[in-house]
């Protein structure tokens, strides 16, 4: 029996009426229950689909940063700047000579790796010497002294490879680790020296990569 809300009169629900009543009741209650969820989902979707805003460097900021790096190079002592630039000549001269001749010379490639090994050893020993003065900001502790021996050890390993290309890859690893020590791990050097180190390492590694790339060409022994 069904009690009407307007009175006490009741009537029997037949099969179709009962089925229709159940559908109306179920759909109505389901709609009421889903409405808050739909609203919440819409809000969440609107939140996630919003475009994130990232702070990017403007061209003016990038230009100012580049200008600051150039000023740091200009502020570097002239002997350090000129000697560093001169020390890059053997790195650049080897792949440049082979590229102009159109021939890969393994003897020149090995000479480049040997010179690079000496350079990596120098960069490692420079850290050791930087810790010796009493007023030095870097202390002669395990962190500085032990890390200063890593580039020379890798450079020595680079000379033991029979394949010059493998030695060049090992040498690039040594130069990269030395740069990481000087810039990130042990940041006690002046800014001008850090900028000089980054520029020099980029030139050295690029020259070694060029030599490795030229190995695919015909080989020739230079005549002295």
Structural domain contains residue 54: no
Digit-coded pLDDT (tens) for 199-211:
999 999 999 999 9
- DSSP β-ladder status, 10-11 and 2-3: antiparallel
| Residue 87 CB contacts under 8 Å (≥ 6 apart), including other chains | 119, 200
The answer to whether the beta carbons of residues 194 and 69 sit under 8 Å apart is no
**Is there a domain that residue 154 lies in?**
yes
The pLDDT tens digits for 118-175 are 999 999 998 888 888 888 888 888 988 999 999 999 999 999 999 999 999 999 999 9
DSSP class of residue 2 equals E
Residue 222 lies in a domain: no
Q: Is residue 62 part of a domain?
A: no
Q: Specify whether the CB–CB gap between 193 and 80 falls below 8 A.
A: yes
74 vs 80, residue with greater confidence:
80
The pLDDT of residue 110: 96
Q: Are residues 73 and 25 in the same domain?
A: no
Q: How far apart, in whole angstroms, are the C-alpha atoms of residue 158 and residue 154?
A: 6
Q: Are the C-beta atoms of residues 136 and 116 closer than 8 Å to each other?
A: no
* HSE, side-chain direction, 13 A CA sphere, residue 4: 7
Number of domains the chain is built from: 2
> How crowded is residue 83: how many other Cβ atoms within 10 Å of its Cβ?
10
What is the residue-averaged pLDDT of the chain? Answer: 77
pLDDT beyond 80 at 30? no
Q: Which domain holds residue 148?
A: 67-214
């Amino acid at each position: 029996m069904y009690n009407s809300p307007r009175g006490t009169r009741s009537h029997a629900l037949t099969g179709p009426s009962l089925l229709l009543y159940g559908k109306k009741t179920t759909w109505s209650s389901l709609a009421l229950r889903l409405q808050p969820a739909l609203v919440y989902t819409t809000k969440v979707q609107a939140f996630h689909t919003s475009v994130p805003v990232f702070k990017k460097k403007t061209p003016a900021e990038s230009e100012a940063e580049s200008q600051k790096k150039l000023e740091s190079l200009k502020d570097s002592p002239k002997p350090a700047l000129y000697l560093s630039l001169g020390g890059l000549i053997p790195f650049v001269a080897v792949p440049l000579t082979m590229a102009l001749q159109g021939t890969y010379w393994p003897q020149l490639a090995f000479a480049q790796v040997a010179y690079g090994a000496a350079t990596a050893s120098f960069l490692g020993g420079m850290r050791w010497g930087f810790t010796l003065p009493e007023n030095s900001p870097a202390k002669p502790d395990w962190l500085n002294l032990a890390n200063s021996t890593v580039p020379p050890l890798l450079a020595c390993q680079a000379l033991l490879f029979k394949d010059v290309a493998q030695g060049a890859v090992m040498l690039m690893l040594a130069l990269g680790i030395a740069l990481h020590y000087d810039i990130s791990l042990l940041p006690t050097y002046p800014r001008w020296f850090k900028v000089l180190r980054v520029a020099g390492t980029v030139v050295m590694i690029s020259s070694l990569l060029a030599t490795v790339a030229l190995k695919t060409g015909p080989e020739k022994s230079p005549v002295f």
